[in-house]
Structure 1
């Protein structure tokens, strides 16, 4: 016996409808740029969020912990976390959506979720938010794959990179390797952070070291990137949103300008039928699903509601739909047969 499920979100006048060409391009190349997805008013609200973050009014507990750790370790080792100082100096801030209503609104922006729902839905969890400031001389992240850090099972994660101002090669735009989304996730040595793929399922899936390090000599994932044609930059304007697959090889360089920031708001999502053995702020038990916001559709798993009351458009599917069972036919084939529910 089964229950039919025809997912359908509520209609809106400003809903973004994804084209088949866009869907195909995302799954072929691993990324999709939707130009002008966010309005000027939307960007003004997120830009203000960035400025308040820069002023220090949004400060996660993790920043203080990292600062203490940084003060106690001044070894200057080339192997130290290349992103550590960026967090300490708050040029990037994690999980602002759990600290600020505007940040939650941005992560749950309906037009961003319209695209996400079409690419990985119909059921969507909102997992993570990050505000990037990247002032002159700072920022940048070496080659990496996002699912190296955040695992979902099934493996369904997607990122949404929202440009809050002009982004180009000078102030540190993203660089991507088209088609690299078809690569597996290259794991670190050992299984301390879990795996995306079944252990020992591959005969030649090599481990990598110093993922995200800006130095390609240190970051051994760069050896895999070298098998592809040259990476391409992704310049963007305020309001453009880049959706990218969690296996895609991507990176950025430090901001080379003297008078420009590179403000962007980056959020991650996955299908809400995925089991998530992760949560940024920690959790109890074997999964952090109950910390993730159900943003679209439905789920049979635990989930959270928006802490600041941001409206989400969940499925209007009828829970009392007709049931379906499979019936054996005389020719040996199985056919679905709908059983009407009694009124």
Structure 2
């Protein structure tokens, strides 16, 4: 992977900030350098040939046919926990730069998934990522990296524009849903991701919004909010649609967990030493700042002097 300095390599326009908040998703073309995309694509080839393995990777036997090898891999969950290359992409500085500008600092990189999506493999029906990964507060955002070209033919992403304003339609018996069950019109959703729109309950919500496809070239990254309704279709093309999906939240969010536990997302350092802010000494950003609500003039303000040596341990 290219030796990138993880310090604000990418600057976004204010229009990007407006776009992701108005539409729910934002594509940034060519964000990932070509050399990095090539390295990941070649790694995925090695995985399919059985030349790259890690705990949790499907086992590829020498006797397996090409069709059997391809069928063994549709996606790999959380490979960043067991393979350094996947960790480096989860913490790719260009992705983190954009996330910080869109959502704020102190990003927690939470999950990753590698998609192989071979010709003939199915898509995924309407769903909300926050349905599967509820966080409190709801700051979930995804970064979807195109490793190969994604087209309408081979199963690119489709979004319902503006549907990020919808609440999470929760799983049955899931208590971590922002109290959305207290809203009229909310239903327990047991059919998320089913491709058939006659069966998928979210189709009745999705129809309120215009649908837009999001084709992508290798190196493009699509950022989208956790609540936005989106789907993909079967790969009807002749080539795979490869992608890497990273999920992040702002630090301090509460994750889904079990009752009786705080659920607070723990601070973690990269297992394989990928350079990022978590490995740097944390320095106070505010020194002797005045915290106040303006009341027309300084004389009419209530002033509180900040002592940066004090820490809030909550």
Residue 102 (structure 1) aligns with: 85
For residue 269 of structure 1, report the CA deviation from its aligned partner.
0.2
Q: Deviations over 1:202-250 (max 9, x none)?
A: 1221222310011112211111112223x11111100100000101111
Structure 2 vs 1, CA of residues 333 and 62 (structure 1 numbering), >3 Å: closer, same or farther? farther
Match of residue 321, structure 1, among 287, 307, 312: 287
Normalising by structure 2, we get a TM-score of 0.82
Structure 1 residue 159 displacement after superposition = 0.3
Structure 1 gap segments, 5+ residues each: 1-9, 65-86, 290-301
Tell me: CA distance 1:58–1:129, structure 2 relative to 1, closer, same or farther (3 Å): farther
Q: Is 1:223 the counterpart of 2:208 in the alignment?
A: no
Distance 1:326 1:24, change over 3 A: closer
Contact 2:181 2:187 (C-alpha < 8 Å) held by counterparts: no
Matched, 1:266 2:245: yes
Deviation at 1:334, TM superposition (A): 5.2
8 Å contact 2:6–2:94 — kept in the other structure?
no
The 5 Å alignment of 1:17-166 reads 17-56=11-50, 57-58=52-53, 60-61=55-56, 89-166=72-149
Determine if the alignment matches structure 1 residue 203 to structure 2 residue 184.
yes
CA 1:49–1:323 in 2, change beyond 3 Å: closer, same or farther? same
For residues 78 and 224 of structure 2, the distance between their equivalents in structure 1, rounded to whole angstroms, comes to 19
Q: Which residue matches 1:337?
A: 304
- Separation of aligned partners in 2, 1:135 and 1:180: 29
Q: Would the aligned equivalents of 2:41 and 2:147 in 1 still touch at CA under 8 Å?
A: yes
Residue 107 of structure 1 contacts residue 126 of structure 1 at CA under 8 Å; is this kept in 2?
A: yes
What's 1:253 paired with? 233
What TM-score do you get using the length of structure 1 for normalisation?
A: 0.76
For residues 266-317 of structure 1, what are the alpha-carbon distances to aligned partners after superposition, in whole Å with 9 as ceiling and x for unaligned? 1000000211125xxx9x944372xxxxxxxxxxxx3110000000035864
1:196 offset after TM fit, Å? 2.2
SS at match of 1:243: strand
CA contact (8 A) 2:26 2:224 kept: yes
Larger mean CA deviation between 311-320 and 210-219 belongs to: 311-320
Q: Does 1:276 align with 2:242?
A: no
Where does the alignment leave 5 or more consecutive residues of structure 2 unmatched? Answer: 60-69, 310-314
- Does the C-alpha gap of structure 1 residues 325 and 166 become closer, same or farther in structure 2, counting only changes over 3 Å? closer
- CA pair 341-170 structure 1, distance change in 2 beyond 3 A: closer
Q: Secondary structure of the equivalent of 2:101?
A: helix
Checking the alignment, whether the CA contact within 8 Å between 1:91 and 1:139 is kept in structure 2 is no
How far did residue 139 of structure 1 move?
3.6
SS at match of 2:254: coil
Q: Which residue of 1 aligns with 2:223?
A: 243
The answer on whether the counterparts of 2:74 and 2:117 sit within 8 Å (CA) in structure 1 is yes
Structure 1 residues 237 and 254: alpha-carbon distance in aligned structure 2, compared to 1, 3 A threshold: same
